[in-house]
Amino acid sequence: MVAVKEVTGMNDKPLAETTTTATPAPCPFRVYCDYCPGYCCYRLPGSTLFVTATDINRLARHFAIADGEVRRRYLEGRNTFKVKEDGSCIFLTDGRLNCRCSIHEARPDQCRLFPYDQQCPYLIRADLLAQISPKVEKSLGVTAL
Ligand code: SF4
Ligand code: SF4
């Protein structure tokens, strides 16, 4: 079984380390995100996207609704977004090869910071790709990427 927690994805950063008000320096590895179908936007066993109160308020302003309404519509439990049947984030758009986050301007801090100034583990770990690629391909309606 893959030790996802050790490698970590964007879904695995402790809350205290992800809450920030400062603008982070651009991550040199984020360039790959422009050409990636968003592997990190799928929930893997042992990983969770942590959504903070600040994230919820940002989303509330984005949709011009109350924080509580954001929680009701989009959260599973107190601190993470709902996922679709294939394990993808509720805000991930199907059928597109890249730029798939439908709330990009209002996405959570954790999504902004990943892969934390390191090479993205989803792109360099064959076992992670093997887990997530079939789901990505299905949502894109392709047989190979
Ligand atoms: S962080 Fe990694 S998996 Fe996520 S979009 Fe960027 S390259 Fe893809
Ligand atoms: S909010 Fe956007 S970037 Fe974050 S997991 Fe969902 S689809 Fe991906």
Return the residue whose CA atom lies nearest to atom 4 of ligand 1.
40
What's the chain's average pLDDT?
83
Neighbours of 16 (CB within 10 A): 8
> In one letter, which amino acid is 26?
P
Q: Is 103 in the pocket of ligand 2 (CB under 6 A)?
A: yes
HSE-CB at 102 with a 13 A cutoff on CA atoms is 11
CB of 97 within 8 A of CB of 90? no
Contact 114, 40 (CB under 8 A): yes
Burial class of residue 42 in the structure, from the number of CB atoms within 10 Å of its CB (0-12 exposed, 13-18 middle, 19+ buried)? buried
What's the pLDDT at 26?
63
pLDDT tier at 6, thresholds 50, 70, 90: very low
SS3 assignment, position 64:
coil
Residue minimizing CA distance to atom 2 of ligand 2: 101
Residue 89 in 3-state DSSP? strand
Q: What is the pTM of this model?
A: 0.81
∠ CA 8-114-9, nearest 5°, is 20
Whether 2 has a pLDDT exceeding 50, the answer reads: no
Categorize the per-residue pLDDT at 4 as very low, low, confident or very high, splitting at 50, 70 and 90.
very low
Tens of pLDDT, residue by residue over 72-107, are 999 999 999 999 999 999 999 999 988 899 999 999
d(CA 2, ligand 2 centre) in Å: 22
- Give residue 22 CA to ligand 1 midpoint distance, Å: 22
Residue nearest to atom 6 of ligand 1 (CA): 33
Taking the CB of residue 13, how many other CB atoms lie within 10 A of it?
Answer: 20
